[in-house]
Amino acid sequence: MNAGLQSVDPVVTRISGPTVTATGLAGAQMYEVVQVGELGLIGEVVRLIGDRATIQVYEDTTMLKPGAPVRRTQAPLSVWLGPGLIGNIYDGIQRPLPGIQAHSGAWIRRGEKVEPLDTSRRWTFEPQVQPGDILIAGQPVGQVAETPLVRHRVLVPPGLSGRVRSMVGKGDYRLRDPVAVLETDAGLRELTMLQHWPVRVARPMRERLRVTEPLITGQRIIDTFFPLGKGGAAAIPGGFGTGKTIAQHQLAKWCDADIIVFIGCGERGNEMTEVLREFPELKDPRSGRPLMERTILIANTSNMPVAAREVSIYTGITLAEYYRDMGLDVAVFADSTSRWAEALRELAARLEEMPAEEGFPASLPTRLAQFYERGGVVTTLAGTRGSVSIVGAVSPPGGDFSEPVTQHTRRFIRCFWALDTELANARHYPSIHWLRSYSEYVEDVSAWWQRRAPDWSALRTEALTLLQREERLQQIARLVGPDALPDSQRVILFIAELLKDGFLSQSAYDENDMYCTPERQVALLRIMLVLYRQGQALIQGGVPLARVRELPSVSQVLRAKSALGNQEAGRWAELERRVRDELDALAKEKR
């Protein structure tokens, strides 16, 4: 009977949006890629019952009819890995958008097939091993200058090891040209610069390590108050208009990762267009080179097929793991996981799965965990250290953090940057609320900060305590008015406002303020807290708060984030001395 079923040509029997049912697929496997219809629309098997398969199609199924042929590929959905990924722009299933534009214009035609990497281009390959060397999985056999910023290591594929039988010399080769021959237990195996890897399978590593250093972003409220560990996972939840996308753009521009993977999954087309136009013009702050020379963009906007949105984050994280295996630090930005979860909900409804909270599938927590758990700091198969840091934007309807996607995301991340609508309306950016956010990486990165700024932990704790006290005093002030409070409490309100305006807010358009080094962050916070401590002592000694507020250095402290640059350590020390001297002079005047 099975033989009879397999002899029937597979055909489409039912179509429901991106979900297609076909018969004659008794030999198919779960998550096998198939080509549907005369145009060969890319699809993936997501359910099997006998010879009947349910297929998730990653392209528009308009005009597809029952009886259309289905062709098997006998392979899972995989991405191409090799030189040429950096600087490219892909859709959710790794079709290169620049290549499609050159081939067929501004619109992606159904069934469009363009190779993810240019197999005709020649790359200058530099061998790093010799005939007779023993190689293990993940070990580099050579390298390619992929961009001026990235040295692309050509690795032995996972699951392969052996002795080098032959090796090419330095020269220009295409991706499919053999560069080495390995003697393995299964016989001779040619190695090329091109690999394939299934997107739903995490790439193997030797060991998962503890997070020990922060991912420096240059954003004060993040680095100083709520740091993200390099290899950690964070979420940026916020309602419409709170600046999630802009915050991720800032992090992508300034974070100290070696490679950036930006995934636009389900965002509005105009926002993604801004990314595609802006990123090629940005300069890398460390090298002065274009930022695209270490960036991969994946664009799957809200008007693209919903099934491709679901797979886009797996495509992005697989590319990140590939560069992690080279011993690099990679940062992945997903904007937004809520739109991705909505794609899961729509597909689950078409598959007639039992809905859970708010119609989302019961598998939502598992799918979120599978994504975030693919980050981390690892020892690669070759013994080097690499990391993948993940930052996912969450768009809860109405800014309600109790909705399922936000709540389940909090279970799998350790850093939570809560965006606040009131702060955004007040043009306070980044609009991260200092009392609703948290980071569980503080202890992990404290040793790193101890080496750079020994008083970071004490200053951070003091500032957060001050902001918490200010929140309670504001509740009293709303009832009785701030003038009814004693000066000893009003000074807390005064310094808290100074912290909000002069430290927590940051301008993306000010050359001095758009990026702040860790040393400069601590110097600015230290000056403000010196003003608080000594000002509090003066007020307890009888000096009016008005005298402290009138000190000339107060306005200089407020303007310091824009007036003083990252390389002006002497001027920061001078400002701190000026604050101390003016406060000491006020104390002497009182005596």
φ, ψ (nearest 5 deg) of residue 504: -75, -35
157 or 109, which is more confident: 157
Span 446-491, pLDDT tens digits: 999 999 999 999 999 999 999 999 999 999 998 888 888 999 999 9
On the question of pLDDT at 511 being above 80, the answer is yes
DSSP structure class, residue 443: H
Peptide bond into 214 cis (omega under 30): no
Give the C-alpha separation, 244 to 241, whole Å: 8
Give the C-alpha separation, 530 to 522, whole Å: 12
Q: Residue 212 CB: number of other CB atoms within 10 A?
A: 15
Give the C-alpha separation, 584 to 405, whole Å: 53
Span 14-71, pLDDT tens digits: 999 899 999 999 889 999 999 999 999 999 999 999 999 999 999 889 889 999 999 9
The answer to whether residues 273 and 337 belong to one domain is yes
Please report, for the domain that includes residue 68, its CATH number.
2.40.30.20
Hey, is 442 helix, strand or coil?
helix
pTM equals: 0.93
Mean pLDDT over the full length of the chain:
92
Span 117-135, pLDDT tens digits: 999 999 999 999 999 999 9
Q: Residue 169 CB: number of other CB atoms within 10 A?
A: 8
The answer to whether residues 289 and 374 belong to one domain is yes
Q: Is 306 inside a domain boundary?
A: yes
Please report, for the domain that includes residue 581, its CATH number.
1.10.1140.10
| 101 in Cβ contact with 114 (< 8 Å) | no
**Identity of the residue numbered 170:** K
pLDDT at 284: 78
Q: Is 89 inside a domain boundary?
A: no
pLDDT at 1: 36
503 or 273, which is more confident: 503
**Could you tell me the residue range of the domain that residue 159 belongs to?**
118-193
Give the C-alpha separation, 446 to 428, whole Å: 28
Interval 370-392 mean pLDDT: 96
Q: Nearest to residue 257, comparing CAs of 106, 435, 108, 388?
A: 388
The answer to whether residues 221 and 123 belong to one domain is no
pLDDT at 590: 67
| 14 in Cβ contact with 348 (< 8 Å) | no
The answer to whether residues 295 and 405 belong to one domain is yes
Give the C-alpha separation, 424 to 421, whole Å: 5
End of a domain among 76, 109, 130?
Answer: 76
Q: Is 415 inside a domain boundary?
A: yes
Give the C-alpha separation, 325 to 331, whole Å: 14
The answer to whether residues 244 and 274 belong to one domain is yes
346 alpha carbon, distance to own chain's centre:
24
The answer to whether residues 14 and 127 belong to one domain is no
Q: Is 106 inside a domain boundary?
A: no
End of a domain among 19, 52, 76?
Answer: 76
List of E strands, 336-485: 376-379, 385-394, 415-416, 438-439
**460-to-184, 220, 225, 449, 521 alpha-carbon distances in Å:** 55, 11, 6, 11, 11
528 or 62, which is more confident: 528
The answer to whether residues 123 and 24 belong to one domain is no
Q: Nearest to residue 107, comparing CAs of 115, 95, 116?
A: 95
Q: Is 111 inside a domain boundary?
A: no
Q: Is 422 inside a domain boundary?
A: yes
Least confident of 97-111, 325-339, 533-547, 568-582: 97-111
In order, the DSSP letters of 523-584 are HHHHHHHHHHHHHHHHHHTT--HHHHHT-HHHHHHHHHHHHS-TT-HHHHHHHHHHHHHHHH
Residue indicated by tokens 């960036």: 295
Q: Nearest to residue 276, comparing CAs of 139, 140, 444, 88?
A: 88
Please report, for the domain that includes residue 348, its CATH number.
3.40.50.300
The answer to whether residues 461 and 431 belong to one domain is no
On the question of pLDDT at 7 being above 60, the answer is no
Residue indicated by tokens 């100074």: 498
The answer to whether residues 488 and 518 belong to one domain is yes
Residue indicated by tokens 């002006």: 568
Q: Which residues contact 96 (CB under 8 A, 6 or more apart)?
A: 88, 89, 90, 114, 115, 116, 117
| 89 in Cβ contact with 97 (< 8 Å) | yes
The answer to whether residues 183 and 215 belong to one domain is no
Helix axes 306-324, 364-372, angle to 10 degrees: 30
End of a domain among 193, 216, 241?
Answer: 193
DSSP structure class, residue 139: -
Hey, is 386 helix, strand or coil?
strand
Least confident of 243-257, 448-462, 558-572: 243-257
Count the domains in the chain: 4
**Residue 237 C-beta-side C-alpha neighbours within 13 Å:** 23
Residue indicated by tokens 């062709």: 71
DSSP structure class, residue 304: S
Q: Is 244 inside a domain boundary?
A: yes
- Helix and strand numbers, DSSP H then E, in the chain: 17, 26
**Residue 474 C-beta-side C-alpha neighbours within 13 Å:** 10
Please report, for the domain that includes residue 185, its CATH number.
2.40.50.100
Give the C-alpha separation, 495 to 502, whole Å: 10
The answer to whether residues 428 and 503 belong to one domain is no
The answer to whether residues 385 and 258 belong to one domain is yes
Span 159-195, pLDDT tens digits: 999 999 999 999 999 999 999 999 998 899 999 999 9
Q: Is 471 inside a domain boundary?
A: yes
SS (H, E, C) 222-258: HHHHCCCECCCEEEEECCCCCCHHHHHHHHHHHCCCC
